Copies of this chain bind each other. A is one copy, B any other.
Amino acid sequence: MKSTIHNDVFLKTLNHQSTPYTPVWMMRQAGRYLPEYRESRKNAGSFLELCKNTEFATEVTMQPLDRYPLLDAAILFSDILTVPDAMGLGLHFVDGEGPKFHKPLLDEKSVQKLDVPDVENDLAYVFDAVKSIKKSLDGRVPLIGFAGSPWTLATYMIEGQGGTGFLNIKKMLYTRPDLIHHILKITAESVSLYLAKQIEAGVDVVMIFDSWGGVLTHEEYETHSLNYMKVIIANLNLMGFENIPKIIFSKGGGQWIDKQAKSGADALGIDWQTNLGEARKIVNDKIVLQGNLDPAILLSTPKAIKEAVRKVLDSYGHGEGHIFNLGHGITQFTPPENVECMLEEIRNYSKKFHAGN
């Protein structure tokens, strides 16, 4: 597969090979900050319908690539909640309120009924999108597939929606740890199959988004979030996908980088609260780091953006092993020209840090 990728700087970095510059992509790079995305969405229905529409998913995945030739990777346009949706929880999006489930896991009975979905069929639309996007990319850059972490998916499955302060799932965690582990186990198995099918459909790299690992205690982070991401990584390796790079990202998990480094992942997402240089010392160059510009910087001026980009690159310093990214998804209020400015500065300023230059 790799031989067919024209721009392989991102893959080389993930494989600890030398590159001429620091590769970059952006979380949520296909999204509302782009006028062409908003245009595509106009007549296309609900967010979930969009994810299920191969043509649309392909179109919007390609938009940032077409606008920004300096991007080094594409990421599948989809949602982290497709897996619980396939489990029958009834995902829907309420405007201005984010995702909700019609049938959250409110009681023991609903938890016990939870089962691994028919991934191949129920999530076929995702694998179709992957194939279609790969065709459109035609080897331009690698394609990243992704899923939510079991803990993060469980928070939505139990709370039924975001913004609840995680009180329901935590109450269950402290009163019925058996139920939580049952949900996490089923979900980890489902995500393993889901990512395996994405790989079979053509993605070159997989990433697990652990948006809510940071709400756990240091101990629970390991037992309830990290350990289940490890299960997924181990499962994928067992299924013969050792050579597919795996990235994990626990937002708010900067205190636990030492633990994450031993997860079996090839790269760690780093949020902007974390000092990238110190994180590098902790992982001792054994694992690639991806991050960590505060996305809010992209709301400012070219001067401020360039300075901030340099700070991130200076913080990591010389040598391979850094993938530039934001510390979280790009916000919808970002002026698209500011992204251009960021990308140019990364390309120009990062060259001096690479022997491969």
Contact = CB atoms under 8 A, between A and B. Distances in A.
A340 interface: no
Interface string A37-65: 00000000000000000000000000000
Given A175-B301, A331-B167, A218 B273 contact: yes
Interface string A218-231: 11010000000000
A348 interface: no
Interface of A: 165-167, 170-171, 173-175, 214-219, 221, 252, 254-255, 272-275, 278, 294, 296-297, 299-301, 304, 308, 311, 331, 333
14 contacts: A167-B299, A167-B331, A170-B294, A170-B296, A171-B296, A173-B296, A174-B296, A174-B299, A174-B304, A217-B272, A217-B273, A219-B311, A252-B252, A255-B274
B217 A174 contact: no
B218 A275 contact: yes
Contacts of A331: 165, 167
Chain A contact residues: helix, strand, loop or mixed: helix
A254 B254 CA distance: 9
A274 B170 contact: no
Contact of A299 (B171, B217, B278, B304): B171
Given A214-B273, A255-B274, A272-B217, A297 B167 contact: no
A217 B255 contact: no
A222 to B, nearest CB: 11
Given A296-B170, A296-B174, A331-B167, A273 B301 contact: no
A138 to B, nearest CB: 36
Contacts of A333: 167
Given A170-B299, A252-B252, A255-B255, 13 more contacts: A165-B331, A167-B331, A167-B333, A171-B299, A174-B296, A174-B299, A174-B300, A174-B308, A175-B301, A216-B273, A218-B274, A255-B274, A255-B275
Contacts of A221: 273
Q: Which of A170, A216, A219, A311 gathers the greatest number of chain B CB atoms within 10 Å? A: A170
